[in-house]
Chains A and B, each alone.
Chain A
Amino acid sequence: MRKYFEIGKINFLNYINYFGEFFFKALFILLILFIFVNIWKAAYAGKAVIEGFTIAMMMWYLLFTESIVTSTSSVIKEVNKEIQGGDIVYQLNKPYHYILYHLSRALSYRAIGFVVTFSMGAILVWIMVGGFNFNLLSIPAIIIIIALALILDFFMIMSIALLAFWFEDTNSFRWVYDKFLFTIGGMLIPLEIFPKWLSNISGVLPFSFVAYYPAKMFVNFNVNELLRVIIYQIGYIFIFAVLAFTIYHFGSRRLNINGG
């Protein structure tokens, strides 16, 4: 495991050189947040609470989901390029697993992306709607849930990315995946606002364990629900890790790199 930690570390050091990229990406997200704050302010007109969320909780929720989802790295693009263009060769001649190498890369990228977006967004949200009753003791649990959410998201994305062994471009699959995260994953609005039946279904699908549950835990920490969320996250990570490794196992056998 040490080598994957070191791969993550060197990527982290390297990504710091691209801090400007993270900064400008976060600036754009601030603009989106600004628009959403105003929309929600209109929706909250005359109401203190909607489905258990005050406006402050709603905005911090939104900041949290945005910070997770938009911190996404370019795994699909990289894997696509490596498989289709043949650069995978330069990964496969080292004694590490291709998928775990990308996991280390993605997590270091997303750690920076999340922290930058969340920190900058927190200032804006604080100024516009103020704080909420945050449980400081929940921080370690929240960190674990974020880490699991990012790992789960990675394995789902990687399962799509590795389809590049069969398909020329997997970006369209990614597009659909993103839309699931935005909607039934709870990125744009909490699942409580959905009709009951849709909320129930979305609540057990893997997408909500990437965006909705971590954000909900952040704004409304609940020890009883914490364990359930972690169990679901680990379960889904297991399922999608097995899926990704299986796709890789079969895909790598049909690797078609000509030339040279």
Chain B
Amino acid sequence: MEESIIEVKNLRKIFKTKHKEAGFLGSIKSIIRPDIREVIAVDDISFKIKKGEIVAFIGPNGAGKSTTIKMLTGILYPTSGNAVVSGLIPWNKRKKLAYNIGSIFGQKPQLWYHLPAIDTFNLFSHIYDLDQKEYKERLNYLVGLFELKEIINTPVRKLSLGQRMKCEIVASLLNKPKILFLDEPTIGLDIIAKQKIRELIKELNQKEKVTILLTSHDTQDIERLCKRIIIINHGKIVYDGDIDRLNKKYLKNKIISIKFEDPFKGIDLNGVKIISSEKYSADIEVNTEKIPIKKVIDSLIKKYNVLDITISNTPIEEVIANIYKQK
């Protein structure tokens, strides 16, 4: 059995927030008798992540994923529970842990905007106390891998978003982190740049066995990079397992896209819903719990001359959206 690099046990975080009624009286009241309420941001969660895994850690806004990551990086103290990250209790050894982790926040660049990326790289080599010879070797390797040779001396403000993100990732990898926290690494990028970033992340994971915890609202990121997904909602883990199993567990619906020789006149079966239709084609949603897919296809073939037929799953974002909606 492979060792866990992240172990979380019964982790809980309660925030105290001040509530204030609207208007002047509300302000006075909040000074005299503040109304402090407790918000459970993370509610007794436990999970383990093995070395070298890429795990998607997702949830709707305010679900508690960001709070969890902040506890795992030692930034926030938990209300109760335990976590061990790379052999350290994060909130007790934040600075020591920082040497072992890298983080990329797609919405918060760490590169100095007016300066070339190489200045930030050099700075990070000192912040992480890297041996300068080893740093140069590491930098050369990453610059080659990410194809950055031409741009590392250009001020960051003059780079494209994709180039900037590549530099952001390189900056986070200089210290050879054991764990990489990726928060929306492809946000705002075009399709080509997204694909490239995903390829590079995957390559790094395979070559360096770096463990990756990915938070993203882009389901393509999740599908392309992760085998395992942890979904958090209302502070609790609502799913932790393979993405494939997620499909099996939550995918009760299949979609049949069909083309006919004759005009389509509908189909009347329990558990079947026509999503869209034109004269010679239709998209039909089948609830496989109510009716087997074979029965629907048989019935369609019997009724019409079918030219083409495709069966697909409900897109993963819909599956996830349905999980988010659950209370």
Contacts and interface: CB of A to CB of B under 8 A. Distances in A.
B129 interface: yes
B274 interface: no
Interface string B107-130: 010101111000110110011110
Contact of B122 (A6, A92, A96): A6
B66 A259 contact: yes
B110 A90 contact: yes
Interface residues of B, number: 41
B280 interface: no
B98 interface: yes
Contacts of A95: 95-96, 98-99, 127-129
Place the interface of chain A in its size category: 20 to 34
B246 to A, nearest CB: 22
A92 B101 CA distance: 12
A255 interface: yes
Interface stretch (A10-18, A24-32, A33-41, A172-180): A10-18
Nearest to B95: A95
B75 A93 contact: yes
Contacts of B305: none
Given A3-B129, A89-B75, A260 B65 contact: yes
Chain A interface secondary structure, helix, strand, loop or mixed? loop
Interface in A70-120: 87-90, 92-97
A133 interface: no
Nearest to B39: A258
A14 B113 CA distance: 8
Interface string A232-254: 00000000000000000000010
B126 A260 contact: no
A258 B15 contact: yes
A258 B215 CA distance: 16
Contacts of B119: 10, 13
A97 B96 CA distance: 11
A93 B91 CA distance: 11
B202 interface: no
A12 to B, nearest CB: 11
B15 A256 contact: yes
A88 B110 CA distance: 13
8 contacts: A6-B122, A6-B127, A92-B73, A92-B75, A256-B16, A256-B17, A258-B41, A258-B67
Given A257-B75, A260-B67, 17 more contacts: A3-B127, A3-B129, A6-B123, A6-B127, A9-B123, A14-B113, A88-B75, A90-B105, A90-B110, A92-B74, A95-B95, A95-B127, A95-B129, A255-B75, A257-B67, A258-B62, A260-B62
